[in-house]
Amino acid sequence: MTLTLPRRAEVPSEHTWDLASIYPALADWEADARALESALAELAAYSGRLAESPATLLDLLTRAQSLRVIAGRLYTYASMCFDVDTTDQAAAGLRDQAIGHYAHLGAALAFIEPELLALDPALIEAFLVEEPALRIYGHFFDNLRRRVAHIRSGEVERLLAQAQEPLSAPYSTYLMLAEGDLEFADAVGQQGHTRQVTTGSVDKLLQSSDRTLRRSAWQSYHDGFLAFKNTFGAIYAGSVRSDVFRARAHGHASALEASLFSVNIPQAVYNNVIEACNRYLPIWHRYWSVRRRALRLDRLESCDIFAPLAPAPYIPYAEGVELIIAAMAPLGDEYAAVARAGLSAERWVDIYPNRGKTSGAYSGGAYGTRPFILMNYDNSLVSVSTLAHELGHSMHTWHANRAQPSVYAGYSLFVAEVASNFNQALLRGHLLKRGVSRELEFAIIEEAMANFHRYLFLMPILSQFEQRMHERAEAGESLTADGMGTTLAELFMRGYGPAVYVDMARDGVVWAQFPHLYENFYVYQYASGIAAANALADMVLRDEPGARERYLRFLSAGGSVYPLDALRIAGIDMTSAEPMDRAFAVLEGFVKRLEALLA
Q: Which residues are catalytic?
A: 390
Give the sign of the dihedral formed by CA 595, CA 500, CA 204, CA 464: positive
User: What would the DSSP string read from start to end of 359-427?
Assistant: SS-EEE--TTS--EEE----SSHHHHHHHHHHHHHHHHHHHHHHHS-HHHH---HHHHHHHHHHHHHHH
Q: What angle do CA 431, 437, 440 make, to 5 degrees?
A: 60
- Per-residue H/E/C for 223-288: HHHHCCHHHHHHHHHHHHHHHHHHHHHCCCCCHHHHHHHHCCCCHHHHHHHHHHHHHCHHHHHHHH
Please measure the distance between the N-terminal and C-terminal CA atoms of the chain and give it in whole angstroms. Answer: 40
State how far the Cα of 397 lies from the Cα of 161, in Å rounded to an integer. Answer: 26
State how far the Cα of 335 lies from the Cα of 232, in Å rounded to an integer. Answer: 42
Asked whether the beta carbons of 544 and 537 are under 8 A apart, the reply is no
Supply the angle between the helices 255-262 and 267-279 in degrees, to the nearest 10: 110
8-state DSSP, 515: G
User: What would the DSSP string read from start to end of 422-451?
Assistant: HHHHHHHHHHHHT---HHHHHHHHHHHHHH
Indicate the residue type of 303: C
State how far the Cα of 240 lies from the Cα of 518, in Å rounded to an integer. Answer: 8
Strand partners, 543: none
Supply the angle between the helices 524-541 and 413-433 in degrees, to the nearest 10: 40
* Cβ neighbours of 285 (radius 10 Å): 16
Listed residue (345, 346, 353) closest to 379, CA to CA: 353
CA–chain centroid gap for 68, Å, is 21
Residues near 113 by beta carbon (within 8 Å), at least 6 away in sequence: 144, 147, 151, 157
Residues near 434 by beta carbon (within 8 Å), at least 6 away in sequence: none
State how far the Cα of 394 lies from the Cα of 102, in Å rounded to an integer. Answer: 23
Listed residue (301, 236, 243) closest to 482, CA to CA: 236
